């Protein structure tokens, strides 16, 4: 596939390097391990991989704190290992998208070490420094995502520096032209090395309000207990208008590498509307990614609500939807274990590109971890109010050995393998034709083979036109039309009159969907059972 817009409607498989495969047997996944297992990824029929960060890092936020943007952390291997990975991926027909965490660096990055020396060094303004208030308190009320204030006092400069995440993740000052250029140069380094695109971490966090205006408080009913950033609207610490022009500079660089792509993670209180500004007009990002479906539990009204708000943004907005990633509870748990395939079938029905997270193809539920096993600072800081992110980061399971084949049995992996995961290992599911893994392969193949699903327009069926708990969309591509209906309830069967939804449905036949019983169809009257999807 040599089309430059291969990414439209593509399926992207997210790999969390620390937890995919440990080749050098130290209990932590690595690049050589990923290369070894790429054949499994290719067997799913996906278009690309997205690698979470593997760059030099003290790993305070497991790589989302970068100390050198142009090198591989020794824990994960070397640049040569990365080149080998890219070559292997390309030879298997997989494109390679890498994570870029431009908004903040590690406090151990050379830039920050220099910046914090004094107020006059050449990098003095590369980060966001501000004087204390007269009483010594932080410059304003901004909160950090993983607990406490977004400001930490530095004794040497006698100033505070901004961090939207951990204190060891200082926020770069994108108002400084040299910072903008330095990060563009870092992107160029990886494009020259042959990557096919970038996933931009918190792409709406690059700029802050230079007046440091206080954020307004959140109404009580919208506060999520324990989640510090939910106590206020993130209005001035992120999401500034200057970002649009910067994204245009990024796009101009990417356009020099035909076929490359970008997907931006948009976080914050209300990320949906930003998707439009960032993707419309083919001049900024290619795809926008939010938490809206990641936070869903598979309720028909909730799903319709998100997609209806998205539809208001206009057809020119290109989403990348996901139900699972390294930050949220796995979809097999948030939707319910018996509904893992249902969740993916609904996902595959949607207009947009898709991300699948490692282990989602196996139906892995969220791992249960004891407090003593926790590694994620977010989970540790806010325990027990917040569940943390370790439960979705436990090792991938390749066989049913004690450590799931991720690392040898006589060493301890960095997070324990959940007992319930081992029977779901790749090696167990691969030979069984009706296993969840093989169902997912068939499902992704149906999606890959259908221009209607990958590229078609999407019309949401209003809930009023459907029985309660049924979610529906109509996809249209040229003369072709595909109706997708999903019963997301847990009660009884639902009857649907197809001719009430579309004028000419006489003679329509449901497609056989992997792992789904064919629904009863009498004339144009369809009956769906809970958990059933039909196309």
By CB under 6 A, is residue 322 in contact with ligand TEU? Answer: no
Q: Does 26 bind Ca ion (CB under 5 A)?
A: yes
From ligand TEU, Ca ion, none, interface partner of 47 (C-beta below 5 to 8 A by class): none
Rounded-to-integer distance, Cα 343 and Cα 488, Å? 9
Residue 33 to residue 52: CA distance in whole angstroms: 14
Q: Binder to ligand TEU among 21, 86, 267, 392 (CB under 6 A)?
A: 267
Rounded distance between C-alpha atoms, residue 129 and residue 145, angstroms: 19
Least Cα distance to 182 among 126, 265, 128, 266 occurs for: 126
> In angstroms, what is the minimal distance from the CB of 258 to ligand TEU?
28
User: Strand pairing partners for 525?
Assistant: 497, 522
When the beta carbons of 248 and 327 are compared against ligand TEU, the nearer one is 327
3-state secondary structure of 242: helix
418 binds ligand TEU (CB under 6 A): no
Scanning 31-39, 326-334, 457-465, 506-514 for contacts with ligand TEU by CB under 6 A, the matching segment is 326-334
Span from 23-31, 285-293, 306-314, 428-436 in contact with Ca ion (CB under 5 A): 23-31
Q: Which residues contact 400 (CB under 8 A, 6 or more apart)?
A: 422, 423, 425, 427, 428
Nearest approach in angstroms of CB 94 to Ca ion is: 22
b/e code 216-236 from CB counts within 10 Å (16+ = b):
eebeeeeeeeebbbbbbbbbb
Based on the shown chain and the rule CB under 5 A, indicate whether residue 22 belongs to the binding site for Ca ion: yes
Would the CA dihedral through 313, 317, 323, 329 be positive or negative?
A: negative
Q: Would you give the DSSP letter of residue 174?
A: T
Q: Does 464 qualify as catalytic in the annotation?
A: no
Member of 125, 302, 327, 430 binding ligand TEU (CB under 6 A): 327
Catalytic residue chosen out of the listed positions 211, 256, 409, 410: 256
Cβ closest to Ca ion, residue 36 vs residue 114: 36
For 368, the token pair is: 């249960």
HSE-CB for 87 with a 13 A CA cutoff = 7
- Sheet with 151-154, strands from edge to edge, namely 129-130, 159-162, 151-154
x/- map, 182-201, ligand TEU, by CB under 6 A: -------------------x
102 near ligand TEU, rule: CB under 6 A: no
By CB under 6 A, name the one of 51, 97, 145, 483 that touches ligand TEU.
145
* Edge-to-edge strands, sheet with 533-534: 457-460, 470-477, 480-487, 533-534
Does position 270 interact with ligand TEU (CB under 6 A)? The reply is no
CA distance 294 to 325: 8
30 binds, options Ca ion, ligand TEU, none, Cβ within 5 to 8 A by partner type: Ca ion
Q: Which tokens in the block code for residue 320?
A: 């990348």
Cα three-residue angle 479-484-485, rounded to 5 degrees: 150
Which window, 2-10, 30-38, 221-229, 458-466, contacts Ca ion (CB under 5 A)? 30-38
Site for Ca ion contains 32 (CB under 5 A): no
The entry of ligand TEU, Ca ion, none that residue 202 binds, CB within 5 to 8 Å by partner kind: ligand TEU
Number of Cβ within 10 Å of residue 443's Cβ equals 22
Asked if 125 is an active-site residue, the reply is no
Residues 452-481 that bind ligand TEU (CB under 6 A): none
Does 61 bind ligand TEU (CB under 6 A)? Our answer is yes
Q: Is 24 in the site for Ca ion (CB under 5 A)?
A: yes
**H/E segment holding residue 177:** helix 177-192
CB of 383 vs ligand TEU, minimal distance in Å: 14
Tokens representing 186 are: 């870092």
User: Closest approach of Cβ 187 to ligand TEU, in Å?
Assistant: 17
Q: Which residue numbers are catalytic?
A: 201, 256
Q: Which residues of this chain interact with ligand TEU, rule CB under 6 A?
A: 61, 64, 101, 145, 165, 201-202, 267, 326-328, 389
Q: List interacting residues with Ca ion (CB under 5 A).
A: 22, 24, 26, 28, 30
């Amino acid at each position: 596939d040599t089309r430059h817009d291969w990414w439209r409607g593509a399926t992207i498989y997210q790999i969390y390097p620390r937890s995919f495969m440990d080749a050098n047997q130290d209990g932590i996944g690595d690049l050589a391990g990923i290369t070894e297992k790429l054949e499994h990824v290719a067997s799913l029929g996906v278009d690309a991989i997205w690698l979470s960060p593997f760059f030099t890092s003290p790993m305070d936020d497991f790589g989302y704190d970068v100390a050198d943007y142009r090198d591989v952390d020794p824990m994960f291997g070397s640049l040569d290992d990365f080149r080998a990975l890219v070559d292997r991926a390309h030879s298997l027909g997989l494109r390679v998208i890498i994570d870029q965490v431009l908004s903040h660096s590690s406090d151990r990055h050379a830039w920050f070490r220099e910046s914090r020396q004094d107020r006059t060094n050449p990098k003095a303004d590369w980060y966001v420094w501000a004087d204390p208030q007269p009483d010594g308190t932080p410059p304003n009320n901004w909160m950090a995502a993983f607990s406490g204030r977004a400001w930490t006092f530095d004794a040497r400069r006698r100033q505070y520096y901004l961090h939207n995440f951990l204190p060891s993740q200082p926020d770069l000052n994108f108002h400084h032209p040299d910072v903008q250029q330095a990060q563009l140069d870092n992107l160029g380094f990886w494009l020259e090395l042959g990557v096919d695109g970038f996933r931009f971490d918190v792409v709406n966090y690059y700029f802050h309000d230079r007046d440091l205006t206080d954020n307004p408080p959140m109404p009580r009913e919208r506060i999520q207990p324990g989640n510090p950033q939910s106590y206020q609207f993130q209005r001035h610490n992120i999401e500034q208008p200057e970002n649009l022009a910067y994204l245009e500079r990024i796009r101009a660089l990417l356009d020099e590498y035909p076929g490359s792509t970008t997907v931006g993670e948009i976080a914050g209180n209300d990320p949906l509307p930003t998707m439009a500004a960032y993707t419309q007009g083919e001049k900024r990002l290619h795809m926008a990614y939010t938490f809206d479906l990641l936070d869903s539990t598979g309720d028909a009204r909730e799903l319709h609500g998100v997609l209806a708000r998205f539809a208001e943004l206009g057809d020119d907005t290109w989403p990348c939807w996901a139900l699972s990633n390294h930050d949220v509870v796995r979809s097999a748990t948030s939707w319910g274990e018996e509904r893992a395939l249902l969740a993916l079938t609904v996902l595959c029905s949607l207009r947009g590109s898709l991300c699948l997270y490692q282990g989602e193809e196996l139906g892995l539920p969220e791992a249960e971890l004891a407090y003593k096993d926790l590694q994620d600072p977010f989970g540790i800081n806010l325990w027990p109010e917040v569940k943390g992110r370790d439960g979705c980061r436990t090792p991938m399971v390749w066989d049913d050995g004690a450590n799931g084949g991720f690392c040898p049995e006589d060493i301890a992996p960095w997070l324990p393998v959940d007992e319930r995961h081992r029977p779901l290992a790749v090696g167990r599911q691969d030979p069984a034709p009706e296993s969840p893994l093989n169902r997912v392969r068939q499902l992704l193949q149906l999606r890959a083979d259908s221009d209607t699903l990958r590229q078609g327009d999407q019309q949401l069926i209003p809930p009023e036109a459907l029985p309660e708990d049924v979610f529906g969309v109509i996809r249209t591509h040229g003369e072709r039309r595909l109706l997708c209906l999903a019963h997301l309830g847990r009660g009884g069967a639902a009857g649907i009159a197809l001719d009430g939804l579309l004028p000419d449905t006489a003679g329509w036949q449901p497609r056989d969907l992997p792992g789904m019983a064919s629904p009863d169809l009498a004339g144009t009257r369809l009956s769906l059972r809970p958990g059933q999807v039909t196309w």
